[in-house]
Structure 1
């Protein structure tokens, strides 16, 4: 039951030698004077889960439509499995679309068809016999944990079960790429976690490449290998998930991370004598200097214990901790250091020697 493959040229490779399933180069798409995609270059490597994140209107949906040929870019190059697709005719695009599975936010199941019929529909369109397509549907329903639901109709299913049917249908033709378009946005947190675990399992067992489009950083953190942040039609930041979480470079990424990274408590922020960066290192006076500390890597777990030895006057942990992201320790702390006797400058020097990024937020009278 092998699926039809897209006729392709030599397999595209990334800079580190991994095969690229998708490669976009300077892709642009305007609607009137409005740039929906404004020069996107992006590679999705074979077997990885790449999270594409951005707020509504950032360009995610247009990018998906360009990938599956529903939109044609004004300029730039899109390669799928090594083949340039931007100049293909509609008949030439059909084999391409069979190489791309798609799962949607609102499931898009046919209510008048049973679960197994929904899963088998792409294979019916391809001309598979009824016996073969139902056998393939049974195999996929077992994979997604719905063996007993083959004869049920969508109306009898929960939201999570409907999404599992959508995933099975997307896998029916054996795609090279799975596009997940806000697939968990309509689900409750517990169901979201189970769907993400399923996608992660499918990626590991089948070696399937997944492009995960979302506006939720928690989804990226849970499942993705790499993340690309899109804003106003541009990729503004890209890298391994742990690295981006540890040290976001752009305001867009920092805002998207605000709900999943520790932040300075409002009760402390309201008491700051000066705003961020306003207190000079080593400034004397009563009270505390408030520092934000970021560090990833093996030293993250021992950073504060070392600081307690370094500072005879001690410090106060206000908020934060050490998290594990993709097997990497990622630390983010907010601490109060005595402002008198150069303790703040001593603390900053020690933390920076250990490789930490330190931000001086300001000064508070007394304890934070």
Structure 2
């Protein structure tokens, strides 16, 4: 991991976000309703509605051009929608003047892909910069910045300049800076896409830890499915400015409904082996089934139990059991002889009786 580990255990009060007003705990931190934004003939956001609950981590995924960047810029007030409402902690920010937006923006922290640190300022001064703009005294902002550097594991780098830091350390500074004004909402715009896998894991662990300790609501804009899988509570899939699928991460990742979601998740879900997929046809002696199953009772003996209930001519081809947020999910592939004619239907009926989702992927000729 780049940079030292977070070993200190600061008190909850040291870093606590500003206490919400009475009744605010029931108010979503973010509520979008009918938001649209066009650039010439291009509709970046199309009647989009979305709610982000207090304290959750929401991942927003989609292909390039889906509207992710426009969405995040609308959330922090840098873009103004053509229509709709954007409420931050219950206040509609659409139509507010720049001066009216300033106190709202102080409730929103931003973490950027390329860190956006000021090279001529030390680490502690980079973290303290939003507080200087907000009018905090020098002593207050330095104390706050040092607290946050301790939180992200960089107390020993306070006097260093960004050029002396690794990529992971720079992102930790960026996270500390985003937290400086005790925001209610943290926006992460592809924050780990410039980092190596080991450093990415460390940063994600840090973000989850911050979410747990501070109760900060986090919105992750990313094209990296593993990021959402690792720390997201819910996920929303964006396509052409609309949300086409939404739900708890474990549920969407184990049973994606749309073709887009299935495609986006292909890198993090078991897939049909390439040598089999390349041979799929509309006719053949063997039927290939894709099976998805979510059950708290799933265990290592799952496949043995299933095959014990099926004829010996049905073969397990590929797949396994995974755990997403402590929820066991299975995805696997079977081959079933096409004859006798009722066999495929019998196998499918059995699998569905144990709450599996079954899909006929195609046919292959023997052997597989």
Aligned match of 1:65: 73
Following superposition, the deviation at residue 306 of structure 1 comes to 2.9
What's the secondary structure of 1:348's corresponding residue?
A: helix
Deviations 1:220-251 (A, max 9, x none): 10110000011111111100001101111111
Aligned-partner SS, 1:111: coil
Q: Per the alignment, do residues 68 and 312 of structure 1 end up closer, same or farther by CA in structure 2, a change over 3 Å counting? A: closer
Counterpart-to-counterpart distance in 2, 1:271 and 1:78? 49
Structure-2 change in CA distance of 1:3 and 1:226 (3 Å): closer
Structure 2: how far apart are the matches of 1:82 and 1:184? 30
Select which of 55, 76, 89 maps to 1:81.
89
Output the aligned Cα RMSD. 2.1
Q: Secondary structure at the match of 1:298?
A: coil
Tell me if structure 2 keeps the 8 A contact 1:307–1:347: no
Whether the aligned pair in 1 keeps the contact of 2:315 and 2:334 (CA below 8 Å) is: yes
- Mapped pair 1:343 → 2:343: yes
Residues 238 and 158 (structure 1), Cα distance of their counterparts in 2 relative to 1, 3 Å cut: same
Instruction: Compute the displacement of 1:271 (Å).
Output: 2.4
Structure 1 residue 108 displacement after superposition? 0.3
Offset at 1:148?
Answer: 0.4
Match of 1:321 in 2: 320
**Partner-residue secondary structure (3-state), 1:340:** coil
CA distance in 2, matches of 1:336, 1:2: 55
Q: C-alpha separation between the residues in 2 aligned to 1:72 and 1:4?
A: 27
State how far apart, in whole Å, the 2-side matches of 1:358 and 1:228 are: 24
Q: How far does residue 10 in structure 1 lie from its aligned partner after superposition?
A: 6.3
Q: Deviation of residue 187 (structure 1)? A: 0.5
- Residue equivalent to 2:367: 367
How far apart in 2 are the matches of 1:362 and 1:200?
41
Partner residue in 1 for 2:9: none
Report whether the alignment pairs 1:308 with 2:316: no
Q: Which residue of 1 aligns with 2:355?
A: 355
| TM-score where L is the length of structure 2 | 0.91
Cα distance per residue 1:201-234 (max 9 Å; x no partner): 0000111100010011111101100000111111
Contact kept in structure 2, 1:6 and 1:99, CA below 8 Å: no
* Counterpart for residue 294 of structure 1: 292
Query: How many residues align structurally?
Result: 353
Equivalents in 1 of 2:94, 2:290: separation in Å? Answer: 47
The 5 Å alignment of 1:21-60 reads: 21-60=29-68
Which whole-Å deviations, capped at 9, do the CAs of 1:51-106 have from their partners, x for residues lacking one? 01111111111111111111111110010001111021110000001000000000
Shift of 1:337: 2.4
1:145 to 153, 157, 161: 153
CA distance in 2, matches of 1:3, 1:336: 55
Q: Residue by residue, what CA displacement relative to the aligned partner does 1:287-332 show, whole Å, maximum 9, x if unpaired?
A: 5321110111225445433322222325322211111011111111
TM-score (norm 1): 0.91
* CA positional deviation for 1:336: 1.5
Matched, 1:135 2:135: no
Provide closer, same or farther for how the CA distance between residues 290 and 3 of structure 1 changes in structure 2, counting only shifts above 3 A.
closer
Structure 1 stretches of at least 4 aligned residues deviating more than 3 Å after TM superposition: 1-11, 299-303, 338-343
Indicate the residue corresponding to 2:125 in structure 1: 117
Contact 2:63 2:239 in 1 (8 A): yes
Q: CA deviation at 1:134?
A: 0.9
CA contact (8 A) 1:307 1:350 kept: no
Provide the secondary structure at the position in 2 that maps to 1:76: strand
Classify 1:94/1:7 alpha carbon distance in 2 versus 1 (closer, same or farther; 3 Å): farther
For 2:169, which of 151, 155, 161 is the aligned residue?
A: 161
Cα contact 2:17–2:215 (8 A) shared by 1: no
Q: Give the unaligned 5+ runs of structure 2.
A: 1-13
